[in-house]
Amino acid sequence: MPDLSHPLISNPAIAPVDERPSKPSSFRRWFRWLQFLAPAALVVLVVVYEIGPAHWLHDRLGEEAHFVAEILVYGSVGPLLAFLLLHLLGRWLEEKETSDLQARVLAQAYEHVRISRKLSDDALQALFAASMLLASLKSSLPDPSPEAASNLLAVQQSLDGAIRRLRDHLQTWPPSRA
C-alpha cells in the first residue's frame, strides 16, 4: 500500500476531490448480478442434484456412495464459490483503493500547479516592481558615474530578461498534449 504520510498526499489544504456518484463500473454491475445469481444457481444445483444423480446414486450404489458423493459435491462447490466471490471482492477493493489514491494525488497535483502559478505570478509582479523602482532610481540620479550607470543597466536588463522568461513560461503552461 502506498505511503499516505507523504506531504503531497496528506496535505489538508488540498481542495477536496469531486465526490459526485459516478457511473457504476462494469465490474460492480457484474458483481451485483453475481450476488443474485450465485444463490439462485446453488439452489438449482441442489435441486437438480438431489432429484437426479443423488437419487440414482442412493438407489444404485447405496447409502455410503450417496453420502460420499454429497460430501464431494457440497464440499467443493460451496468453498469454490466463496473463494471466487471473495477473490473478486478483493480485486475490486484493491482497484477502488488505487483509484481513490490516484484521485487524491491528481487533486494535489492540480493544487500544486495552482500554487506554483500563483507564486510565479507573485514573482513576476515583484520583478516588475523592482524593474520599475530601478528605472525610477536611474532617472532620479542627476549624473551617475559610468560604472554606476553600467551596473544599473545590467541589473535592469537582467530583471527585464527574467520577467520576459517568466511571462513566456506562464503563457505556454500547461504544455500542449500531443
Q: Mean pLDDT, consecutive 10-residue segments, the chain of 178 residues?
A: 42 46 67 81 86 88 88 85 84 88 92 85 83 80 80 82 79 61
SS3 27: helix
pLDDT score at 42? 83
10 grid coordinates: 496528506
Question: Whole-angstrom Cα distance, residue 25 to residue 45?
Answer: 29
pLDDT score at 17? 46
Question: Whole-angstrom Cα distance, residue 178 to residue 164?
Answer: 26
pLDDT score at 23? 61
Largest CA distance in the chain: 122
Question: Whole-angstrom Cα distance, residue 53 to residue 70?
Answer: 10
166 and 121 Cβ atoms separated by less than 8 Å? no
